[in-house]
Amino acid sequence: MSSERVYGLYKQLLGLAEDQLKALQEERFDEALIYLEKRQRIIDEIQNLDAIEKNNHELKDISHKIRINIEKILSIDNENQNFLKTELNSISHRLEAVKKAKTFCSDNTYHQAGNTLNISA
């Protein structure tokens, strides 16, 4: 395997990370998981290549370009993480509001015959 192959894999990894972020932002969560699985397969392939070509000097020449892609990937992953934290926080707040509404409704009764609302505090 050549250094171009390893660099190409990192470029693919970067593209998938960008696609994953876009899928998350568009709330296509199932698709984001598929991108995550594809990314893992590429990471596994890179690790296998690293083990095989540990002493290849070609890789050292292209390592700067690879580092740039790794930094971009990490930045995108940070965005993914922040997006997911925000979404989970939002879901948590909505769930809390639903629980409060449910509690409110269960504490109150409506008497249809007399058209009265009984609110107990």
Please indicate, yes or no, if residue 57 is contained in any of the structural domains: yes
Range of the domain at 45: 3-77
29-33, 43-47, 79-83: the lowest-pLDDT one: 43-47
68 vs 37: which has the higher pLDDT: 37
What's the pLDDT score for residue 78?
A: 92
2-6, 25-29, 51-55: the lowest-pLDDT one: 51-55
Q: Is the pTM of this model over 0.75?
A: no
Please indicate, yes or no, if residue 20 is contained in any of the structural domains: yes
Please indicate, yes or no, if residue 85 is contained in any of the structural domains: no
Please indicate, yes or no, if residue 116 is contained in any of the structural domains: no
Please indicate, yes or no, if residue 98 is contained in any of the structural domains: no
What's the pLDDT score for residue 114?
A: 57
Please indicate, yes or no, if residue 86 is contained in any of the structural domains: no
Q: Please, what's the b/e burial string for 50-80 (b: 16 or more CB within 10 A of its CB; e: otherwise)? A: eeebeeeeebeeeeeebeebeebbeebeebb
Please indicate, yes or no, if residue 119 is contained in any of the structural domains: no
What's the pLDDT score for residue 40?
A: 93
Per-residue confidence band for 48, with pLDDT thresholds at 50, 70 and 90: confident
52-56, 64-68, 101-105: the lowest-pLDDT one: 52-56
Closest CA to 69 of 37, 43, 34: 43
Please indicate, yes or no, if residue 88 is contained in any of the structural domains: no
Per-residue confidence band for 73, with pLDDT thresholds at 50, 70 and 90: very high
In total, how many domains does the chain have? 1
